[in-house]
């Protein structure tokens, strides 16, 4: 009897430790450690204000940047250097041809260390976390935000790599996911507690922190929802056949989403296009390629292949709906890339080079996905 009691107590303790670890991972338990977080940059007419938290203390400092173009700064308590431009970011093209290699990750959800591990392991970045992939294209299929506690570090790294890749004729494409839109619209259902504390210490809302006058806010508001490389479409969640009503005009779709990120809820009630694009059947939320989802019935294969043919596509690459591993389906025409990076110790990436698709592991091992 005593032995059985010990076994039961051990099992209960194991369950408690497991649950406690999960609570910490997803930000539901406050740490007693002092918070250092940021930096966040806000733009004025002739200066920028850098705001951050250092050991639970809110710090704000102004720097003059007018006419300087690129501006670098470092901060006490932060190991990285940061570079910003006084010139607003521009909206890039959403269509590219003759792309001979691309690398795709999705749904990072603040898991900075896992993202770095995957990018380093596959030679996308070097040991100094600088761009190392020449003319290649890195595609991030949205949902960098929420759940994890290193969202800011992820954003600064992507922000830096975007500029570095451009200098070497490469590209970084950061697409909007539903969680980017949620945070920009101040929907904080999945926000890690670390950022709630940050906003409290800064005496700002998350909407203020990512406003149009902030560096991250104005940068994110230039991002696309849908891009096309060669004859392959990239989108966070998926393309519903109903989107054909937009006549395959990705520029219009991207602009409609971008221009209405800050629209009041009232506007969505009376605009069917916006209601669709931002809703469960739109490109940010659609799950119709997958079985057993509560929001969308699974599309039939013939309808999916017809959709691809009408859009002159060979494949659609998506995130949003987590899979155990990357496994193409619908005759290899849909490739899901969200494989659980949000857990912090899982997840892989999709590599395309020399006309071949590979499942890319964090250690650099690659396995061919699609065979002729």
pLDDT in tens, 41-95: 999 877 899 999 999 999 999 988 767 678 899 999 999 999 999 888 999 999 9
Looking at the chain, the whole-number percentage of residues with pLDDT higher than 90 is 81
β-partners of residue 139 are 104, 173
Is the separation of the CB atoms in 107 and 75 below 8 Å?
A: no
Contacts of 158 by beta carbon, 8 Å cutoff, 6+ apart: 140, 144, 172, 174
Single out the residue of 224, 190, 235, 220 nearest to residue 338, CA to CA.
Answer: 235
Per-residue pLDDT reduced to its tens digit, 88-136: 899 999 999 999 999 999 999 999 999 999 999 999 999 999 999 999 9
Strands 334-336 and 315-318 turn out to be parallel
Cα 40 from chain centre: 18
pLDDT at res. 295: 81
DSSP secondary structure code for residue 369 in this structure: -
Is the separation of the CB atoms in 150 and 108 below 8 Å?
A: no
Q: Is the pLDDT of residue 9 over 50?
A: no
pTM of the full structure? 0.90
- Indicate the fold that domain 95-368 takes in CATH: Purple Acid Phosphatase; chain A, domain 2 (3.60.21)
The rounded distance, in Å, linking the Cα atoms of 27 and 25 is 6
């Amino acid at each position: 009897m005593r032995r059985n009691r010990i076994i039961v107590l051990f099992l209960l303790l194991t369950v408690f430790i497991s649950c406690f670890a999960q609570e910490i991972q997803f930000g539901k338990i406050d740490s007693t450690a002092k918070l250092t977080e940021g930096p966040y940059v806000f733009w004025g007419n002739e200066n920028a204000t850098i705001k951050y938290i250092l050991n639970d203390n809110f710090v704000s400092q102004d720097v003059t940047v007018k006419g300087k173009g690129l501006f670098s700064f470092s901060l006490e308590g932060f190991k990285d250097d940061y570079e910003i431009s006084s010139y607003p970011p521009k909206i890039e093209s959403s269509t590219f041809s003759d792309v001979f290699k691309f690398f795709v990750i999705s749904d990072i959800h603040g898991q900075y260390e896992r993202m770095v591990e995957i990018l380093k392991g596959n030679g996308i970045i070097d040991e100094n976390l600088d761009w190392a992939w020449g003319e290649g294209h890195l595609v991030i299929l949205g949902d960098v935000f929420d759940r994890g506690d290193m969202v800011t570090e992820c954003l600064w790294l992507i922000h830096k790599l975007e500029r570095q890749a451009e200098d070497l004729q490469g590209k970084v494409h950061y697409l909007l996911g539903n969680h980017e839109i949620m945070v920009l619209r101040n929907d904080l259902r999945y926000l890690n507690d670390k950022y709630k504390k940050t906003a409290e210490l800064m005496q700002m809302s998350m909407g203020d922190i990512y406003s149009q006058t902030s560096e991250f806010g104005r940068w994110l508001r230039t991002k696309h929802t849908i891009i096309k490389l060669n004859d392959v479409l990239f989108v966070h969640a998926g393309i519903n056949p109903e989107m054909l009503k937009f006549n395959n005009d990705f520029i219009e779709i991207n602009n409609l989403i971008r221009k209405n990120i800050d629209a009041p809820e009232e506007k969505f009630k009376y605009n069917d296009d916006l209601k669709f694009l931002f809703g469960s059947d739109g490109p940010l939320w659609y799950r119709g390629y997958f079985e057993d989802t509560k929001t969308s019935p699974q599309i039939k294969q013939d309808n999916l292949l017809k959709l691809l043919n009408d859009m002159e596509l060979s494949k659609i690459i998506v995130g949003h709906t987590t899979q155990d591993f990357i496994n193409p389906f619908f005759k290899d025409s849909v490739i899901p890339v969200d494989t659980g990076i949000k857990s912090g110790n899982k997840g892989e990436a999709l590599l395309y080079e020399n006309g071949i698709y590979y499942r890319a592991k964090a250690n650099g091992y690659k396995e061919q996905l699609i065979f002729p």
